A and B are shown apart, each in its own frame.
Chain A
């Protein structure tokens, strides 16, 4: 493959991943509170989403700063106390809107791809 094409594809992937990671984190903790390590493990199971696990922690801190998530500490019998992350009411509202937007984008791109195949 041409090196310039490689570079622009990598850049595109990085940008896409950056935007999606936030959405993925919020969706991961939406059903129930999770601690950081558990969030990272779950996201790592999604192909190509988390390249470096550490990236998740600054995003969690930013989401907390933006009051979309909140934390609490819970003791654990299998190691250190764990910091759990859960959605705030505002986080839940934002996530709902983000998911709607994602669905409509996904639908629109799907439509474009179908047209191209015809």
Chain B
């Protein structure tokens, strides 16, 4: 063991620590073996130096060895480390896409403690990455699969809320405590079922007409927020929703009319 000043020893220890961290998890090389070889290299290089070896000599040798972060080719490094580097190395390298995926994974892991709230920033970070890539005229490539999960889950949730949320609340409100005296609900089982189905049809159908019209009016912001997933969305899709709503509402009204 070569005698070194505390400063030189600290430099060397830090360097070896960086090297171990960089080589950890790499399958192509044996990290312990590389470390042993590098230690041997340093000891041979310092063999003629006067003890205790100072920081200047050690730094000179470490500089020639170079930063361990540059020793391995990208394809040799573990996938998690490459992903971490992408997150660190700036938007131009797609760190936002990796950040979006990280938030998505965190939202699932933390689901029991309101982790789903992380889906919103995950979606918007992913959306920001899409916009940056478009500004630079770059194709989204395989990294789009890092941002799609968060966007797809939020889109599915928003669609579900839009389709069934308000009518469910309206039905719950309509079937309040004094409902029987107000709405003339039939006493027979069949009549009651017919009434409830009719009420559901009217509520859902009416809402779908309103939602279809509302979304058709604001199609651009909707398309923008959920781009590129909803790039193919057209007003005709909402017209179909409104038409289905009209049919369901009409069927519901008929059932209510013939409830007795």
User: Which one, B19, B36, B47, B65, contacts A53 given CB within 8 A?
Assistant: B65
User: Which one, A37, A40, A64, A82, contacts B33 given CB within 8 A?
Assistant: A64
**Chain B positions 1-41 with a Cβ under 8 Å from a chain A Cβ:** 19, 23, 26, 28-30, 33-34, 36-38, 40-41
The tally of residues in A whose CB lies under 8 Å from a CB in B reads 23
Does B72 have its Cβ within 8 Å of any Cβ on chain A?
A: yes
User: Which A residues are in CB contact (< 8 Å) with B68?
Assistant: 54
Cα–Cα distance between A54 and B70 once the two chains are bound (Å):
9
User: Which A residues are in CB contact (< 8 Å) with B71?
Assistant: 52, 54-55, 57-58
Binary CB contact string for chain A from 71 to 109 against chain B (1 if under 8 A, 0 otherwise): 000000011111100000000000000000000000000
B interface with A by C-beta (< 8 Å): 19, 23, 26, 28-30, 33-34, 36-38, 40-41, 43-45, 47, 64-68, 70-73, 76
User: Which A residues are in CB contact (< 8 Å) with B65?
Assistant: 52-54
Does A18 have its Cβ within 8 Å of any Cβ on chain B?
A: yes
Interface of B is mostly: helix
Binary CB contact string for chain A from 29 to 61 against chain B (1 if under 8 A, 0 otherwise): 000000111001000000000011111011011
Q: In the bound complex, do residue B34 and residue A61 qualify as a contact, i.e. CB atoms below 8 Å apart?
A: yes
* With known contacts A51-B66, A54-B71, A83–B28 Cβ distance under 8 A: no
User: Which B residues are in CB contact (< 8 Å) with A80?
Assistant: 40, 43-44, 47
Q: In the bound complex, do residue A52 and residue B70 qualify as a contact, i.e. CB atoms below 8 Å apart?
A: yes
Closest to A37 in B: B44
Cα–Cα distance between A93 and B40 once the two chains are bound (Å):
29
* With known contacts A61-B30, A65-B29, A54–B38 Cβ distance under 8 A: yes
Q: In the bound complex, do residue B37 and residue A83 qualify as a contact, i.e. CB atoms below 8 Å apart?
A: yes
Closest to A38 in B: B44
Q: In the bound complex, do residue B40 and residue A58 qualify as a contact, i.e. CB atoms below 8 Å apart?
A: no
Q: In the bound complex, do residue A60 and residue B30 qualify as a contact, i.e. CB atoms below 8 Å apart?
A: no
User: Which A residues are in CB contact (< 8 Å) with B37?
Assistant: 36, 57, 60-61, 83
User: Which A residues are in CB contact (< 8 Å) with B47?
Assistant: 78-80
A-B pairs with the 4 shortest C-beta distances? Answer: A52-B66, A54-B65, A79-B47, A61-B29
User: Which A residues are in CB contact (< 8 Å) with B66?
Assistant: 51-55
**With A52-B71, A58-B72 given, can you name 10 additional A-B contacts, CB distance below 8 Å?**
A18-B73, A53-B64, A53-B66, A55-B71, A58-B29, A60-B37, A65-B30, A79-B43, A80-B44, A83-B36
Cα–Cα distance between A80 and B72 once the two chains are bound (Å):
26
User: Which one, A52, A53, A83, contacts B40 given CB within 8 A?
Assistant: A83
Cα–Cα distance between A36 and B39 once the two chains are bound (Å):
11
* Distance of B37 from chain A, by nearest CB (Å): 5
Cα–Cα distance between A83 and B88 once the two chains are bound (Å):
37
Binary CB contact string for chain A from 10 to 28 against chain B (1 if under 8 A, 0 otherwise): 0000000010000000000
Cα–Cα distance between A69 and B70 once the two chains are bound (Å):
23
Cα–Cα distance between A51 and B73 once the two chains are bound (Å):
14
Cα–Cα distance between A35 and B41 once the two chains are bound (Å):
9
Does A62 have its Cβ within 8 Å of any Cβ on chain B?
A: yes
* Distance of B67 from chain A, by nearest CB (Å): 7
User: Which B residues are in CB contact (< 8 Å) with A57?
Assistant: 34, 37-38, 41, 71
Q: In the bound complex, do residue A58 and residue B34 qualify as a contact, i.e. CB atoms below 8 Å apart?
A: yes
* Distance of B107 from chain A, by nearest CB (Å): 37
Cα–Cα distance between A78 and B45 once the two chains are bound (Å):
11
Cα–Cα distance between A35 and B44 once the two chains are bound (Å):
11
Interface centre among A53, A81, A82 (most CB of B within 10 A): A53
Closest to B39 in A: A80
